[in-house]
Amino acid sequence: MQRCTLPALAIAAMLALPVAVHAQPTPAGQRHFPEAALRGQLTIHSSAEARLNNQSVRLAPGLRIFNTSNALVFAHSLINQPLKVNYVIEASTGMLLTAWILTEDEARQPRKGSDGVQNNIRTESHTPQTAR
């Protein structure tokens, strides 16, 4: 049986520190989400697939899901549960990278996402009309 040395304990404590600090909500109890985070309805179907706003989405290998206490949870523990989330999609792959399960208060806060239609399609004619 090997004894744990003091430097090994110090290294282990330093590695755990960033996770512990990140998992703490702000003093007021409110979480702050990135500006790029959108709102949506998420249902995880497997460790690799989910539906986000009624569209299939792949889960990134490094997917992080935070519960309402801001603690990390595993995707497989949420299978087939409809969740209101704020989320970030990884730009180069289109995979779901991060999701925050929202409290009722957070879900009432306005944010871009499933509540509105977002596109860049114009339906009117782009040809200028001349006066007659």
pLDDT reading at 91 higher than 80: yes
The answer to whether the CB of 86 falls within 8 A of the CB of 102 is yes
- For residue 76, the domain's CATH number is 2.40.50
For 27-73, what is each residue's pLDDT tens digit? 556 799 999 999 999 999 999 999 999 999 999 999 999 999 999 99
- Give the rounded distance of the alpha carbon of 105 from its chain centre: 17
Domain hosting 80: range is 33-108
Is 67 inside any structural domain? yes
Structure token digits, residue 50? 């989910």
User: What is the domain count for the chain?
Assistant: 1
Residue written as token pair 């998992």: 23
**Domain for residue 41, yes or no?**
yes
Contact 44, 79 (CB under 8 A): yes
Residue 90 lies in a domain: yes
Q: Does 93 map to a domain? A: yes
Task: Name the nearest CA neighbour of 59 among 93, 92, 97.
Answer: 97
- 64 falls within a domain: yes
Q: Does residue 95 form part of some domain?
A: yes
